[in-house]
A and B are shown apart, each in its own frame.
Chain A
Amino acid sequence: MPSAPLLLSQAFNGLALGTLLALVASGLTIILGTLGVLNFAHGALFMLGAYAMYVVTAQTGSFFLGILVGAAFMLVVGVVLERGLIRLFYGRPHEDQILVTFGAGIVIVEGVRALFGANTQSVPTPSWGQGIVQLGFLFYPTYRLELIGIVAALLFVLYLILYRTSIGLVVRAGIEDARMVGILGINVRRSFLLVFALGVVAAGVSGMLYAPIVSVEPDMGSSFLVEAFVVIVIGGLGSYPGAVVGGLIAGEIISITSAFNSAYSEVMLYAVMALLLVLRPQGLFGSEGRV
């Protein structure tokens, strides 16, 4: 049995892990909820964001510039992807949409490998994130601590966009009833573009923020994609609160399990998902009617 301070530390760490998972999953879930497209390229876009961060910080050394330029770049990527590819698939079955994003994911990963090579790249921790903080019950990396705040702020911004703007209305209407959004007419297509781009930027920014923590390499996104899927299944499809709460739950499961035996952290995550599917198949925040 792990000690109480260790359990507390892991619970805290679960919060940090969870907020990041929530951010990754939220980009996936708004695209899914509004456009009905399950974006299999989400992991690749996460990775692309990290590379954007790597390129900018390697050139300028500025983390903030990295976020700004990186987000702008991801916005362009999102627009190009939507206009060039995803748009062709709105009228086609969900399965075709899944397949084309799956293929796009492969192309992005291998394209990055061709451009940057297979070696891992480093993004330095920004100067304000150096070091380690004494929190009383545990020592915790400064950057990860700050990240909790940054990600929480970003999640709040997303909340404002979704719940306080007209585009947010479209997104939420789409989650409630995709057909009703269709009735709204011509504006929908432009909203779809914005929503898709927003989701891509969310994926990219997650990658950028995570870049100083992990090694940046072409395959770094794949495990996040699967974890984001689990988060969405737990939280409920297309539900923004579901993505946030699901992300926090997933983070806690991984972390608390690690206090006992880290080898089982992933397995435990899937086990909880299976259990939830038995007890509440639509997910915590999902509505029964949605698929």
Chain B
Amino acid sequence: MAARVRGTLWPELAVVAVLLVAPFVLLPLGFSYDLLQRILDWGLIGLGFDLLFGATGLLSFGQAAFYGTGGFVAAYLLVGHVIANVWLALVLGTIAAGLVGLVVGWLAVRRIGIYFTMITLAFGEMAYFLENSPLSHYTGGENGLPGVPVPSLGGMPISAGLPMYWLLAVLFFAGFVLARRILHSPFGAVLRAIKGNTTRTGMTGHSVPAYKLAVFVIAALYAGLAGGLLGVLQSYMPPDAFALDTSGQLVVQTVIGGVGTLVGPLVGATLWLWLRDNLQQVPHVGALWKLILGLIFVLLVVVLKRGIAGEIRWAFTRRRLAAAEAGVPEETGDAAVMPPTAPALPLSAPLVVARTDAPALRAIGVSKFYGGLHAVENVSFEVRTGSIHAVIGPNGAGKSTLFKMLKDEIAPTAGEVLLFGRRITGLGPTRTAQLGIGKSNQLNQLFLDLTVTENLRIAALARARGTFRADLWRAADSLPAVERQVAAAMETVGLIHRADVPVHVLPYGEKRRLEIGIALATGPNVLLLDEPLAGMSPAERVATRALVREIGRTRTLLIVEHDMDAIFELAERITVLYEGRLLADGTPDEIQGNQAVQDAYLGGLHEHEPA
């Protein structure tokens, strides 16, 4: 199993081979040792950046702050004769960069997307100003710090040229191996989940801000080491390490090389520096080199969406993906793939043994107002432990809003929700997931670029590992309990034949089942299903009803659904909402006999019956 998740060792072997032959192949092409060292240095900062941007989807325009910090701390310690050991200085510089990353990251990861990019850029600029003015006594201001010594190994200095190349090659390779381990660890799985669907990642019980901050610090550490090495490789720590252009160049090189490939920044740096170097020497180009490279960059962003390494990898994976897609039927409704009976593998027991004397969920007077709109108003009801409980009502009755408050995805305007007698209101969706509330959504919230197995694994990892754990070195599939849970959930929702298919190619019905499967794989005590049957074919509905009944045997189940046949077949108890208020609450028989419910539905159904 481990070999499957981590893939093969081919990438490592390929990198070793390239690093070994590069000096001999590239020197005749006009690359000096110095240029190769710089390319590796860019590649090293790029490894961390690709974990941040490629894997997690966080575009930072401020990596220069950490590159510069690592470089100047190491350089100052050495040039200022604070310490003499170059290795130690590099380590301290790296740590300092990580600490700065911790502070900047703490501020930056509070916001996502564009905001994150702008904040990192601004802090990058701030670092540049600090280096140039208030800290110039230590950093040499715009002159930088000349005279950084080289490290020694066994008493022998690692001199410029080939020995320095080998040092950088070894460090790059070590960084590459580590980055790949991280990418294929449970930690890395969560990072990729955050990129795929941040909201769902949090909903399944992973602390998204903690993971973002962690990967931000990891990227800062890579940048810090690369910065330290920049000073060492040229005996001089330049102030422009801090410049906005440094961050920009890193982004440009990564995009050209291929985002999310780890070697992309290295490939991009090779091409960019080579072009930069040689374009200028073409007659009459001179200062126009930047215009030409700018045009090339824009063209690449428009045309080559994956970058060089990305396109190469795509060429290899495309066939596999095409094969996977070929196996997926165009039409939905292939009921035969659904397990007609109980799954062979038992679902693992809920992590928290339920206290059966308390109701599983209890809403006490919850309300949600949006300005003047009363989406939900003063609703109280209980869900008995071990029961299948349904919430029904016409469209706009406030069912989905109520569901979101039950998992604390949104904060109630008033009232509170208790889980087995414990107040969960105010904890947020991540904590409630950890406490055992799973939820499938009305609109699919899947990790579209990941496979079915990976989707389920994200969910299963949450309660097994807690809200955050930095298990960078172990393989994502090396937790037996998690894998059992994944297998059980996959079998329960009947997607075993799609285990390795990327989710975006699945037909809609299978995506719906996966949506439930993800909720199930978190190992919830209480499962909230928001319109699980929506958009399914009649055959799938039959199969899914069987599935819901099956799940209901082992856990408390709360379901919102428009399919009345299904509700009255499955539910032991039904709560009816109408225009945000509780209309009725009782057994299916009581509800069927309730005049108010009939009026509401007769009045509402003709208008609101979903298509």
A–B: direct contact at CB < 8 Å: yes
- Encoded as 1 (CB less than 8 Å from any B CB) or 0, chain A from 3 to 47 comes to 000000000000000000000000000001000101000000000
- Give residues 81-122 of A contacting B (CB, 8 Å): 85, 88, 92-96, 98-100, 102-104, 106-107, 110-111, 113-114, 118
Residue B134 lies at the interface, judged by CB distance under 8 Å to chain A: yes
A96 contacts which chain B residues (CB < 8 A)?
301, 305
- Encoded as 1 (CB less than 8 Å from any B CB) or 0, chain A from 243 to 263 comes to 000000000000000000001
Given A110-B291, A237-B115, A99 and B255 contact (CB-CB distance below 8 Å): yes
- Give residues 215-267 of A contacting B (CB, 8 Å): 222, 226, 229-230, 232-233, 237, 263-264, 266-267
Residue A124 lies at the interface, judged by CB distance under 8 Å to chain B: no
Residue B497 lies at the interface, judged by CB distance under 8 Å to chain A: no
Given A114-B288, A263-B133, A226 and B121 contact (CB-CB distance below 8 Å): yes
How far is it, in angstroms, between the C-alpha of A110 and the C-alpha of B118 when the chains are bound?
23
B303 to chain A, nearest CB (A): 10
Picked from B59, B111, B134, B295, the residue with its CB within 8 Å of the CB of A267 is B134
Residue B378 lies at the interface, judged by CB distance under 8 Å to chain A: no
Picked from B107, B114, B290, the residue with its CB within 8 Å of the CB of A291 is B114
B118 contacts which chain A residues (CB < 8 A)?
38, 229, 232-233
How far is it, in angstroms, between the C-alpha of A229 and the C-alpha of B108 when the chains are bound?
14
- Encoded as 1 (CB less than 8 Å from any A CB) or 0, chain B from 95 to 131 comes to 0000000000001101111110111011101100110
How far is it, in angstroms, between the C-alpha of A110 and the C-alpha of B288 when the chains are bound?
7
Given A229-B121, A267-B134, A103 and B115 contact (CB-CB distance below 8 Å): no
Flag if B294 contacts A107 (CB, 8 Å). Answer: yes
- Give residues 105-163 of B contacting A (CB, 8 Å): 107-108, 110-115, 117-119, 121-123, 125-126, 129-130, 133-134
Flag if B111 contacts A281 (CB, 8 Å). Answer: yes
B93 contacts which chain A residues (CB < 8 A)?
none
A230 contacts which chain B residues (CB < 8 A)?
122
Flag if A267 contacts B122 (CB, 8 Å). Answer: no
- Give residues 373-387 of B contacting A (CB, 8 Å): none
A176 to chain B, nearest CB (A): 12
How far is it, in angstroms, between the C-alpha of A242 and the C-alpha of B117 when the chains are bound?
18
Flag if A85 contacts B302 (CB, 8 Å). Answer: yes
A220 to chain B, nearest CB (A): 15
Residue B244 lies at the interface, judged by CB distance under 8 Å to chain A: yes
- A228 to B, closest residue via Cβ: B118
Residue B53 lies at the interface, judged by CB distance under 8 Å to chain A: yes
Residue A270 lies at the interface, judged by CB distance under 8 Å to chain B: yes
A24 to chain B, nearest CB (A): 14
Flag if B126 contacts A103 (CB, 8 Å). Answer: no
Flag if B291 contacts A114 (CB, 8 Å). Answer: yes
Flag if B115 contacts A291 (CB, 8 Å). Answer: yes
Interface residues on B, range: 35 or more
Flag if A274 contacts B117 (CB, 8 Å). Answer: no
Residue B57 lies at the interface, judged by CB distance under 8 Å to chain A: yes
How far is it, in angstroms, between the C-alpha of A232 and the C-alpha of B122 when the chains are bound?
11
Flag if A270 contacts B123 (CB, 8 Å). Answer: yes
Flag if A38 contacts B288 (CB, 8 Å). Answer: no
Residue B353 lies at the interface, judged by CB distance under 8 Å to chain A: no
Residue B33 lies at the interface, judged by CB distance under 8 Å to chain A: no
Flag if A99 contacts B57 (CB, 8 Å). Answer: no
Flag if A106 contacts B122 (CB, 8 Å). Answer: no
- Give residues 258-291 of A contacting B (CB, 8 Å): 263-264, 266-267, 270-271, 273-274, 277-278, 281-282, 291
Flag if B125 contacts A270 (CB, 8 Å). Answer: yes
Given A95-B59, A99-B301, A267 and B114 contact (CB-CB distance below 8 Å): no
A289 to chain B, nearest CB (A): 10
Flag if A95 contacts B57 (CB, 8 Å). Answer: yes
Flag if B115 contacts A233 (CB, 8 Å). Answer: yes
Picked from B57, B110, B298, the residue with its CB within 8 Å of the CB of A107 is B298
Flag if A94 contacts B114 (CB, 8 Å). Answer: yes
Flag if B117 contacts A38 (CB, 8 Å). Answer: yes
A111 contacts which chain B residues (CB < 8 A)?
291
Flag if B297 contacts A106 (CB, 8 Å). Answer: yes
Flag if B111 contacts A266 (CB, 8 Å). Answer: no
Residue B248 lies at the interface, judged by CB distance under 8 Å to chain A: yes
Residue B14 lies at the interface, judged by CB distance under 8 Å to chain A: no
A31 to chain B, nearest CB (A): 11
Residue B251 lies at the interface, judged by CB distance under 8 Å to chain A: yes
A291 contacts which chain B residues (CB < 8 A)?
111-115
Residue B336 lies at the interface, judged by CB distance under 8 Å to chain A: no
Residue B287 lies at the interface, judged by CB distance under 8 Å to chain A: yes
How far is it, in angstroms, between the C-alpha of A95 and the C-alpha of B295 when the chains are bound?
18
Which of A102, A111, A118, A271 counts the most chain B CB atoms within 10 A? Answer: A102
Which of A36, A95, A233, A271 counts the most chain B CB atoms within 10 A? Answer: A95
B288 contacts which chain A residues (CB < 8 A)?
110, 114
A268 to chain B, nearest CB (A): 10
A261 to chain B, nearest CB (A): 10
B2 to chain A, nearest CB (A): 32
How far is it, in angstroms, between the C-alpha of A38 and the C-alpha of B244 when the chains are bound?
16
Picked from B126, B255, B287, B295, the residue with its CB within 8 Å of the CB of A270 is B126
A271 contacts which chain B residues (CB < 8 A)?
126
Flag if A98 contacts B59 (CB, 8 Å). Answer: yes
Flag if B114 contacts A110 (CB, 8 Å). Answer: no
A138 to chain B, nearest CB (A): 27
**Interface residues in chain A, defined as those with a beta carbon under 8 Å from any beta carbon in chain B:** 32, 36, 38, 85, 88, 92-96, 98-100, 102-104, 106-107, 110-111, 113-114, 118, 222, 226, 229-230, 232-233, 237, 263-264, 266-267, 270-271, 273-274, 277-278, 281-282, 291
**Interface residues in chain B, defined as those with a beta carbon under 8 Å from any beta carbon in chain A:** 53, 57, 59, 107-108, 110-115, 117-119, 121-123, 125-126, 129-130, 133-134, 244, 248, 251-252, 255, 287-288, 290-291, 293-295, 297-298, 301-302, 305
30 A-B pairs whose Cβ atoms sit less than 8 Å apart in the complex: A38-B117, A85-B302, A94-B59, A96-B305, A99-B251, A99-B301, A100-B298, A103-B294, A104-B298, A106-B293, A111-B291, A226-B121, A226-B122, A226-B125, A229-B122, A230-B122, A233-B122, A237-B114, A266-B129, A267-B134, A270-B123, A270-B125, A270-B129, A273-B122, A274-B107, A277-B110, A277-B119, A281-B111, A291-B111, A291-B112
Starting from the known contacts A110-B288, A237-B115, 6 additional A-B residue pairs (CB-CB under 8 Å) come to: A114-B288, A233-B122, A267-B129, A267-B133, A270-B123, A274-B107
What are the 7 tightest A-B residue pairs by CB atom distance, in nearest-first order? Answer: A110-B291, A106-B294, A270-B126, A103-B298, A291-B113, A107-B294, A103-B297
